[in-house]
Structure 1
Amino acid sequence: MSPHGFPGTLHNVIDLRALRDDPDRLRASQRARGEDDAVADRLLDLDSRHRSALTRFESLRAEQKSAGRSVSSASPEEREPLLAAAKTLSSQVKEAEAEADRLAADLSGVLAEVPNIIEEGAPAGGVDDFTVLDKAGAPRELGFTPRDHLELGELLGAIDMDRGAKVSGARFYFLTGVGAMLELGLLNMAMQRAAANGFTPMIPPVLVKPETMGGTGFLGEHAPEVYHLPADDLYLVGTSEVPLAGYHANEILAADALPHRYIGWSPCFRREAGSYGKDTRGIIRVHQFNKAEMFVYTTAERAHEEHLRLLGWQREMLDLLELPYRVIDTAAGDLGTSAARKYDCEAWVPTQGAYRELTSTSNCTDFQARRLNIRYRDPEGKPRFATTLNGTLATTRWIVAILENHQQADGSVVLPEALRPFVGREVLEPVGAKG
């Protein structure tokens, strides 16, 4: 029997009713992602068999109840055959219940592996098949050979990778002196700008239960990225999206209060599994970093506009930091499990001669809300699943772009004007060789 007291109860991560009405939508989404489109047929088959099993169970249970009433009112001579029939029915009910539960488990297992259905218009293909939507700012003509962010960080007394590795291993680091002040200033700037735009500032827990991590879609294809503490059965989050998504789990939100907008500041942890040999120098790809993450609960009808607002707030932040960047529409095969559409802002990194991701903003439609059972009541009073969206507003990696784009020939870095009040200085000056 399911925990809800009824066999085969499901918390669907894909709307099965919508799938029955339009299976081609899932098929097209799977093909765009480079995934198996036959999963739609497997789901339809399991769904049909599951519903048939439930119908049989309900019919047999009704018959069993009727037989029970007949036994209680039967005469002594009628009772024995009726009891025998009731016993047979009881066995059949148990078998039907077990079959419904088995099919529900099979259906849930397949559903759990199916990524969100992409939004119409998202580019098909893999990591290199994105569409460039816009560019802002031109890469600066430096007039000298630029130093990379690690060399600059060492000159400024801002980044210490060697001692990070000594203390914790590869891909760990210390931000020291002005490096620590730069990160704190950057994140404070993001938090204050978000608060001014109506976001509620949050400092969330960074250890979460399996149902929270799984509910946000990070225990599927992303599971190798996640740190797990087996003794406590808790997970370290790779983004505050995870605890912020779990914040309203199993709640029905007031529709007239939507959207709920939160900005979470948290340390983030990623194993970087599969990234051996990639970005091993400096702080581009590390195991621990800090991030300010926007998270929104809204309705499906408002989600597209809200997604563009998140992108707009990200662009405002990058413009204030005077960073050249481009906006890309991420291809379906690079969306991850939960996102239906994702826009990235990639800043220019002079020493790499390339744009590198600084922000992402994703519309996860009702994918996470279904898993976490987050609903609101529509104007008719009917509960509907909420839509969740997320977007980066600042993170440790931004230091890379700030240092490299604003460096001077002598190794100093002139901070963008908007950031200066938060760091407490205009220029970061070299401090000499490492101690």
Structure 2
Amino acid sequence: MIDLRLLREDPDRVRASQRARGEDVALVDALLSADERRRSSGVRFDELRAEQKQLGKLIPKAAGDEKAELLKKASRLAADVKAADAERDAADVETQELLVRLGNLVHPDVPVGGEEDFVTLETHGEIRDFAAEGFEPRDHLELGTLLGAIDVERGAKVSGSRFYFLTGVGALLELALVNAAMAQATAAGFTPMLTPALVRPQSMAGTGFLGQAAQDVYHLDKDDLYLVGTSEVPLAAYHMDEILDADKLPLRYAGFSPCFRREAGSHGKDTRGIFRVHQFDKVEMFSYVASEDSRAEHQRLLEWEKQWLTSLELPYRVIDVASGDLGASASRKFDCEAWIPTQGKYRELTSTSDCTEFQSRRLSIRVRDGKQVKPLATLNGTLCAVPRTIVAILENHQQADGSVRVPEVLRPYLGGREVLEPVAR
């Protein structure tokens, strides 16, 4: 959530952020009004309580009619205090309910607009000319079938649409990707983490996934637990309700977990293969830093993602995501999109978001710097979303006979294998 003091001091900035997101600007004025009622009712309560305490000192010293009158006044005052307390609590509840509906403040450099209004920041690698090489590229599902690596038919039989099996070299390729990604993250100073896939409501809400993203979240009603769509959620909640020491920052974690998404808003999109699925594995980077260091950390996370994609020898571009396409917790987000030959376009493979103090305020994570205790910044960055990375590797490194060249960085994790060969059918 944002700082209420900032809202009071610069409401126009918050209105502009809401407008850029395409969200309800009237929410800002409703929140200002609720906050004013909360503060004024709090002042009224404090004044009445002070009067009540003063009266309590006078009553034992009084006698006769004076004491009777003071007792009557004390009775009326008690009722007023109770009413003021109830008014203060109601205003506080309303303020908090409105506050959690407000998205993070959009960074001033973010391009304004919807999904297609991103700005391309840089492009890396060369796109292969398959026509010049004399063959038509196969898509990842055809290649995965030839290699005995992907089985979506049995995935659908067992679990339904958008589920799949990785088999043979497909399973080995996932393990190679996860191990290589973790090795890079560990070398960069991240602490490896295996995180829970089920979290409590306060963890999911604290990271901002029960607002606009709630339709994509799986909920277990009986247990009141949520299946995570990213290990960002347990990594963000890892230090919930804690005060960290400033000299321990930055804290960097690399989490591996299964991820679950309904993909409720993607009906009919990417239904072929494993690009958009309900369950997948992912390696996620997560950072806790001092607020003033968040922009620099954001660039560092992006550089680690670029290093990873470059090591996989994939052509890709980096985009600055437009304001209307940001998640509620992100102030700014960069996506790295790999070229997918059979689609003829770049598709998101990794992303990194600067969430500033938005999540730490909701999760009550603070930092002690000398005598001062204050919120800190959190950031996240996908290093390897496995299925999409497999899609990009198969399509970009395929050969005319249906085999796939293995990027050098993965060969040590595949027993030195340089090529994935089609299996006999």
Give the TM-score range, shorter chain. over 0.9
5 Å-filtered alignment, 1:294-313, equals 294-313=285-304
C-alpha distance in 2 between matches for 1:341 and 1:54: 36
C-alpha distance in 2 between matches for 1:121 and 1:318: 25
Answer yes or no: is 1:83 the counterpart of 2:71. Answer: yes
C-alpha distance in 2 between matches for 1:76 and 1:238: 71
Partner of 2:54: 66
C-alpha distance in 2 between matches for 1:411 and 1:151: 9
Match of 1:194 among 161, 185, 189: 185
C-alpha distance in 2 between matches for 1:388 and 1:185: 29
C-alpha distance in 1 between matches for 2:62 and 2:187: 75
Shift of 1:77: 4.2
Partner of 2:354: 363
Normalised TM-score (structure 2): 0.97
* 8 Å Cα contact 1:187-1:395 kept in structure 2: no
Answer yes or no: is 1:55 the counterpart of 2:47. Answer: no
Match of 2:117 among 122, 126, 129: 129
C-alpha distance in 2 between matches for 1:432 and 1:356: 32
Shift of 1:351: 0.2
In structure 1, the gaps of 5 or more residues are 1-12
Structure 2 letter corresponding to 1:187:
V
* 8 Å Cα contact 1:307-1:361 kept in structure 2: yes
* 8 Å Cα contact 2:59-2:70 kept in structure 1: yes
Partner of 1:19: 7
* 8 Å Cα contact 2:257-2:282 kept in structure 1: yes
Answer yes or no: is 1:156 the counterpart of 2:147. Answer: yes
C-alpha distance in 2 between matches for 1:77 and 1:30: 61
Partner of 2:313: 322
Deviations along 1:368-408, whole A, 9 cap, x unmatched? Answer: 000000000234x2111010000001112100000000000
Shift of 1:78: 2.8
User: What percent of counterpart residues are identical?
Assistant: 63
Answer yes or no: is 1:416 the counterpart of 2:416. Answer: no
Deviations along 1:194-225, whole A, 9 cap, x unmatched? Answer: 01111000001110000000000000011110
Match of 1:264 among 255, 261, 264: 255
Matched length? 420
C-alpha distance in 1 between matches for 2:217 and 2:304: 28
In structure 2, the gaps of 5 or more residues are none
Partner of 1:427: 419
C-alpha distance in 1 between matches for 2:372 and 2:50: 28
Partner of 2:22: 34
C-alpha distance in 1 between matches for 2:126 and 2:17: 35
Partner of 1:4: none
Mean CA deviation greater in 38-47 or 249-258: 38-47
Shift of 1:30: 1.2
Answer yes or no: is 1:250 the counterpart of 2:238. Answer: no
Structure 2 counterpart SS, 1:117: coil
Deviations along 1:45-104, whole A, 9 cap, x unmatched? Answer: 221121101000110111111111222332244322211111111110110011111111
Shift of 1:190: 0.6
C-alpha distance in 1 between matches for 2:325 and 2:64: 71
C-alpha distance in 2 between matches for 1:21 and 1:50: 17
C-alpha distance in 2 between matches for 1:432 and 1:401: 24
C-alpha distance in 1 between matches for 2:61 and 2:362: 47
Answer yes or no: is 1:385 the counterpart of 2:375. Answer: yes
Shift of 1:422: 1.3
* 8 Å Cα contact 2:245-2:369 kept in structure 1: no
Structure 2 counterpart SS, 1:128: helix
C-alpha distance in 1 between matches for 2:59 and 2:381: 63
Structure 1 counterpart SS, 2:268: coil
Shift of 1:38: 2.7
